[in-house]
């Protein structure tokens, strides 16, 4: 699992088509974490497995993205030079500064509004029925970043949420580069999903 606190920004160095997967190669841009092969890394909020690593020259990590991953995420839209949010898996000694994040993308949220006057506020349309997990002051993960929901609204298109980005978040993540129409990985709060599932089970009994 992860905590949603981005530790570094990586850059897409190569995207290679392979027989059974698409290989994503990232340069680490000063990140000093050196994971073992098979380790889990959150890449824009999607848990990927390290398939190869080149530490001796320019530090890079490679991940194999299978068709299922490409079908349910926006990773297939990445291009060489794009920057991605990186976080290594949490350990029992990790400070839980964000919230419990599994790295399992629930869907793609669309940026429908952006304001940078006074404070940096982003409005997003949540996909499907994910709005039922969104509450004011609740937690949500966007492209791997643990954020607090500032407002929840219901619109004709579905549930729209506002999140506010502080200068520290803008400096340490790629969220400041997002524009209206962009799609972000969204993972709803795991505890909210667990409670909702239990309530559904109780009602069905």
Statement: residue 91 has pLDDT above 80: yes
Instruction: Give residue 46's pLDDT.
Output: 98
Locate the domains of the chain by residue range: 8-88, 107-204
How far apart (Å, rounded) are the C-alpha atoms in residues 85 and 10?
Answer: 7
The confidence band for 200, taking pLDDT boundaries of 50, 70 and 90, is confident
Instruction: Give residue 191's pLDDT.
Output: 87
pTM: 0.92
Statement: residue 37 has pLDDT above 80: yes
Mean pLDDT of the chain: 93
Statement: residue 192 has pLDDT above 90: no
Q: Write out pLDDT tens, residues 160-176.
A: 999 999 999 999 999 99
- Is residue 102 within 8 Å of residue 123, measured between CB atoms? no
Residues forming beta bridges with residue 14, ordered by sequence position: 25
- Tokens, residue 160: 């729209």
How far apart (Å, rounded) are the C-alpha atoms in residues 67 and 71?
Answer: 6
Q: Do domains 8-88 and 107-204 have the same CATH topology?
A: yes
Q: Write out pLDDT tens, residues 111-137.
A: 999 999 888 999 999 999 999 999 999
Name the CATH code of domain 107-204 (choices 3.40.47.10, 1.10.357.140, 3.20.20.70, 2.40.30.20).
2.40.30.20
Statement: residue 202 has pLDDT above 90: no
Instruction: Give residue 196's pLDDT.
Output: 86
Strand locations in 4-144, DSSP E?
A: 8-17, 22-27, 40-43, 46-54, 60-65, 83-88, 107-115, 120-125, 139-142
Instruction: Give residue 30's pLDDT.
Output: 81
| 149: Cβ contacts below 8 Å, ≥ 6 apart | 134, 135, 136, 137, 138, 139, 140, 161, 162, 163
Q: Averaged over 26-32, what is the pLDDT? A: 88
What is the architecture, at CATH level 2, of domain 8-88? Beta Barrel (2.40)
The confidence band for 204, taking pLDDT boundaries of 50, 70 and 90, is confident
């Amino acid at each position: 699992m992860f905590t949603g606190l981005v530790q570094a920004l990586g850059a897409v160095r190569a995207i290679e088509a392979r027989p059974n997967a698409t290989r994503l190669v990232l340069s680490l841009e000063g990140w000093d974490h050196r994971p073992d092969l098979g380790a889990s890394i959150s890449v824009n909020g999607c848990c990927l497995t390290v398939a190869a690593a080149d530490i001796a020259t320019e530090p890079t990590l490679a991940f194999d993205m299978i068709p299922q991953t490409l079908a349910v995420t926006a990773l297939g839209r990445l291009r060489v030079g794009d920057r991605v949010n990186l976080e290594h898996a949490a350990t029992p000694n990790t400070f839980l500064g964000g919230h419990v994040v599994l790295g399992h993308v629930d869907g793609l949220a669309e940026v429908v509004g952006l304001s940078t006057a006074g404070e940096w506020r982003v409005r997003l349309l949540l996909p499907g029925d994910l709005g039922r997990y969104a509450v004011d002051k609740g937690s949500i993960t966007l492209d791997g970043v643990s954020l607090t929901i500032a407002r929840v609204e219901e619109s004709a298109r579905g549930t729209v949420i506002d999140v506010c980005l502080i200068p520290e978040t803008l400096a340490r993540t790629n969220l400041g580069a997002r524009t209206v129409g962009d799609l972000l990985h969204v993972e709803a709060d795991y505890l909210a999903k667990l409670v909702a599932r239990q309530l559904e089970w109780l009602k069905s009994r």
